[in-house]
């Protein structure tokens, strides 16, 4: 069960709305053309808001049809109705385009647009946003898993093009089509992990651990707080994590379920040193200044991580979308102000489930 | 100048809407929380449509706030207002999320969603659709060129991530980031074009001609109907087409502006034969049956093209999105019923400006 909202808009001459006689013609023209497309169309109410026109109609299947004529020269037409799973849509895609064409002709509109129906109330999110807040509709056709852990809402949904997709608090995290993400994060082919000691902060989907284990490291310690994520991925994302999340300890790895900040503090106390630390936690925040809890957490993680690196060690992490240069710049400023001086390199890759280029950092001690 | 529509929805228990006393509580809860977020909120009208609740408010800056409570257990909240170019948005992205959280709490909603504002009335399309009719917002920030040719609406817009993007009748066609499209269409590295005779049907963006010329063919004849497209691309898509569209004739190529069907018929009459024919015209139609004008055109083009192929020749073309297996299957059935028997191979590539995997066909005579 979902509600469908279909949004159309039409650019018209401003005087069509502003001039009262023309407005009256416009109103009959709209009523006529809507009457042709919607059987049983009934006017509900009409009003004037700040000089803009508002007309409401009810149509078939309890649909509400809202027409607004803005005095600047824009008419919007919204149709919203409730659709049961076994019901057909009110109009086909083609019929919506005919409606658009007919209204455009009736309004003498020079530019019009009809968006595909926005589906509302689905049990999984069909619409996820890119890092620059753009809207993107995924081809999700099934909710595979859902649970609320103590830390976040954990969903695994199935996408027709991406396979299973892990979604944490409505944020797309990792899909079965995203090997390039892990390979760019670890700089496969450029870094040598054989015989190395490694820490992963986060990494609950198991993808990074699974790929690192293929490179014969000496030992990998993974610090992940959310057991629900690991169990879900172990069951539903096996093409990503293999069997590495099935048990807490293997020949050359261990998964510690808990707060990585505390574990890092303990490692610093013990004077432990690693070849690689991976920051596979939340993304760099999108904000106007590098302040607030999220940035404090990033600084804390970075300052703790560099303290457990061998002098030749590296801190590897993902940044954010290439479309957010301001946030990336703030992150680089944070890097330049750590308790231990560092240098960094960057790489980028198009991540299929993110639908955008992503930036990855490789941080070395100076 | 654009109108912004912000769509929120909230899943609630069905009895919250169906039970009249509960519905009355719900109404006051909504009025309270909206009053906190929108200064000067005023009730406009209230109604009952097929057992679902409708409440309209007007808010700041002439905004219209529509609340619908569907008896099945879904509340939609739509806010629409007009925004001048120099005005701030009514609420920031963060403030919309706070509104969502507050309404969700007031409604005791277990699942809610707030879409980024849909911008309506822009001079270029921000929203283009994928081949399976999914909605996608592009990062378009500038209209570079616009004209209406005798055949179609021709626009070149600038995308922050893709560079310039050719849009024909609201359909994304080719961007400066799409070399992979041309390379997969021509099977670069797998086909040898040196010394070959080639026909391009369509190809107005010039990308295919430009890349083919790099492979030292004997002669390329391009048949494109729309001079407006070629002039626009020649000026604004030079990273795609180089200078090959600047003139109609080069040492080893010619561009004939006109109907390729007539030109092909003429070539058949003359008994001309080519090593390669490229179908770089419209996509395979998305339809339920392989009938109608669009499919007839495809059959006509295919039957004409195979008649001008040398026995060793190939017909190369783009199909459609990998997400449309039904349409691709219909196309393959059309291939199996041509006037001359053929076999075909397929390849696929993720095309950046299409945001999806695209299928390409290589057709050989049996």
- CB-CB contact of B173 with B358 (8 Å): no
> Which one of A59, A66, A82 would you mutate to disrupt binding with B, by most B Cβ within 10 Å of its Cβ?
A82
According to DSSP, the β-strands at B118-120 and B111-114 are unpaired
Helices vs. strands in chain B: H and E counts, helices first: 10, 20
Report pLDDT digits (tens) over A71-121. 999 999 999 999 998 999 999 988 999 999 999 999 999 889 999 999 999
Residues in Cβ contact with A17 at an 8 Å cutoff, skipping those fewer than 6 apart: A23, A26, A52, A53, A69, A70, A71, A72, A73, A75
Residue B146 pLDDT > 80 = yes
Q: Do B44 and A47 touch (CB under 8 A)?
A: yes
**Contact residues, B window 18-37, toward A, CB-based 8 Å cutoff:** none
Residue of B nearest to A49 (CA): B62
Residue A284 pLDDT > 80 = no
Cα separation values, B44 from A46, B196, B295, Å: 10, 71, 51
What pLDDT score was predicted for residue B234? Answer: 98
First-to-last alpha carbon distance for chain B, in angstroms, is 57
A121 touches chain B (CB under 8 A): yes
What pLDDT score was predicted for residue A218? Answer: 98
User: Where are the extended beta strands (E) located within B130-227?
Assistant: 135-137, 140-148, 153-159, 163-168, 171-175, 197-202, 219-224
Q: Do B170 and A113 touch (CB under 8 A)?
A: yes
> Where do we find the tokens 């589906």?
A119
Closest CA of chain B from A182, distance in Å: 19
Sheet containing strand A171-175, edge to edge, reads A140-148, A153-159, A163-168, A171-175
Residue B284 pLDDT > 70 = no
Burial letters A8-27, b for 16+ CB under 10 A, else e:
bbbbbeeebbbeeeebeebb
- For A167-172, which contacts have Cβ atoms below 8 Å and span 24 or more sequence positions? A167/A124, A167/A125, A167/A128, A168/A229, A170/A125, A170/A128, A170/B113, A171/A128, A172/A128, A172/A138, A172/A353, A172/A354
What pLDDT score was predicted for residue B358? Answer: 95
Residue B107 pLDDT > 90 = yes
Report pLDDT digits (tens) over B39-87. 999 999 999 998 899 999 999 999 999 999 999 999 999 999 999 989 9
Residue of A nearest to B160 (CA): A323
Which residues of chain B does A47 touch, with a Cβ-Cβ cutoff of 8 Å? Answer: 44-45
What pLDDT score was predicted for residue B159? Answer: 93
Closest CA of chain A from B203, distance in Å: 26
Strand partners for B112: B10
Q: Do A66 and B62 touch (CB under 8 A)?
A: no
Q: Do A9 and B116 touch (CB under 8 A)?
A: no
Q: Do B80 and A68 touch (CB under 8 A)?
A: yes
Lowest mean pLDDT among A203-217, A225-239, B126-140, B278-292: B278-292
Considering the entire predicted model, what is its pTM?
A: 0.86
Residue B286 pLDDT > 80 = no
A9 touches chain B (CB under 8 A): yes
Q: Do A113 and B127 touch (CB under 8 A)?
A: yes
Q: What number of C-beta contacts closer than 8 Å exist between A and B? A: 155
What pLDDT score was predicted for residue B142? Answer: 93
Mean predicted confidence (pLDDT) in A154-168: 94
Q: With CA atoms as reference, report the closest residue to A191 among A4, A366, A363.
A: A363
Report pLDDT digits (tens) over A22-56. 888 899 999 999 999 999 999 999 999 988 999 99
Pairwise pLDDT comparison (A140 vs A291), residue with the higher score: A140
- CB-CB contact of B77 with B8 (8 Å): yes
Which residues of chain B does A1 touch, with a Cβ-Cβ cutoff of 8 Å? Answer: 72-74
Lowest mean pLDDT among A53-57, B159-163, B315-319: B159-163
pLDDT band at B22 (very low <50, low <70, confident <90, very high): confident
pLDDT band at B23 (very low <50, low <70, confident <90, very high): confident
Closest CA of chain B from A145, distance in Å: 15
Average pLDDT over chain B, rounded to an integer: 94
**Contact residues, B window 331-360, toward A, CB-based 8 Å cutoff:** 350, 352, 355-357
What pLDDT score was predicted for residue A286? Answer: 67
B7 touches chain A (CB under 8 A): yes
Mean predicted confidence (pLDDT) in B297-307: 95
Which residues of chain B does A161 touch, with a Cβ-Cβ cutoff of 8 Å? Answer: 322-323, 356-357
Residues above pLDDT 90, as percent of chain A: 81
What pLDDT score was predicted for residue A20? Answer: 80
Residue B311 pLDDT > 80 = yes
Which residues of chain A does B86 touch, with a Cβ-Cβ cutoff of 8 Å? Answer: none
ipTM above 0.95, yes or no: no
**Contact residues, A window 296-315, toward B, CB-based 8 Å cutoff:** none
Residues above pLDDT 70, as percent of chain A: 99
Question: Which of B45, B116, B121 is facing A9, going by the closest CB pair?
Answer: B121
What pLDDT score was predicted for residue B130? Answer: 83
What pLDDT score was predicted for residue B334? Answer: 95
Residue B313's Cα: distance from chain center in Å? Answer: 32
Helix H or strand E segment including A364: strand A356-365
Residues of B that are catalytic:
280
Burial letters A239-266, b for 16+ CB under 10 A, else e:
ebbbebbeeeeeeebebbeeebeebbee
What pLDDT score was predicted for residue B132? Answer: 83
What pLDDT score was predicted for residue B17? Answer: 84
Report pLDDT digits (tens) over B109-136. 989 999 999 999 988 888 988 888 889 8
B151 touches chain A (CB under 8 A): no
**Contact residues, A window 75-114, toward B, CB-based 8 Å cutoff:** 76, 78, 80, 82, 84, 93, 111, 113
Average pLDDT over chain A, rounded to an integer: 94
Lowest mean pLDDT among A145-149, B141-145, B170-174, B228-232: B170-174
Q: Do B7 and A5 touch (CB under 8 A)?
A: yes
Residue B38 pLDDT > 80 = yes
What pLDDT score was predicted for residue A107? Answer: 93
Closest CA of chain B from A200, distance in Å: 31
């Amino acid at each position: 069960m979902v509600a469908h909202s279909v949004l159309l808009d039409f650019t018209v001459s401003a005087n069509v709305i502003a001039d009262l006689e023309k407005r009256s013609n416009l109103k009959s023209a709209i009523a006529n053309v809507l009457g042709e497309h919607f059987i049983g169309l009934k006017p509900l109410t009409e009003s004037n808001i700040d000089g803009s026109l508002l007309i409401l109609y009810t149509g078939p299947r309890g649909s509400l049809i809202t027409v607004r004529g803005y005095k600047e020269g824009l008419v919007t037409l919204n149709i919203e109705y409730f659709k049961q799973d076994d019901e057909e849509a009110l109009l086909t895609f083609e019929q919506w385009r005919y409606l658009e064409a007919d209204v455009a002709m009736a309004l003498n509109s020079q530019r019009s647009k009809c968006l595909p129906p926005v589906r509302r109330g689905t049990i999984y999110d069909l619409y996820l946003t890119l890092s620059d807040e753009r809207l993107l509709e995924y081809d999700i056709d099934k909710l595979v898993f859902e649970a609320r852990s103590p830390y976040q809402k954990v969903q695994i949904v199935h996408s027709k093009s991406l396979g299973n997709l892990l979604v944490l608090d409505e944020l797309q995290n990792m899909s079965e089509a995203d090997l390039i993400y892990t390979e760019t994060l670890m700089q496969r082919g450029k870094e040598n992990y054989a015989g190395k000691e490694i820490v992963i902060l986060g990494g609950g989907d198991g993808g990074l651990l699974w790929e690192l284990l293929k490179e014969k490291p000496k030992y990998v310690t993974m610090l992940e707080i959310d057991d629900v994520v690991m169990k879900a991925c172990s069951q539903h994302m096996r093409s990503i994590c293999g069997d590495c999340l099935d048990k807490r300890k293997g020949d050359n790895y261990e998964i510690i379920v808990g707060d990585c900040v505390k574990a890092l503090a303990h490692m610093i106390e013990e004077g432990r040193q690693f070849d690689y630390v991976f920051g596979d936690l939340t993304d760099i925040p999108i904000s106007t200044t590098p302040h607030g809890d999220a940035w404090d957490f990033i600084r804390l993680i970075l300052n703790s991580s560099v303290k457990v690196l061998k002098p030749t060690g590296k801190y590897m992490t993902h940044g954010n979308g290439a479309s957010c240069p301001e946030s990336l710049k703030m992150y680089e400023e944070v890097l330049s102000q750590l308790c231990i001086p560092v240098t960094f390199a960057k790489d980028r890759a198009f991540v299929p489930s993110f639908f955008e280029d992503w930036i990855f950092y490789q941080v070395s001690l100076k």
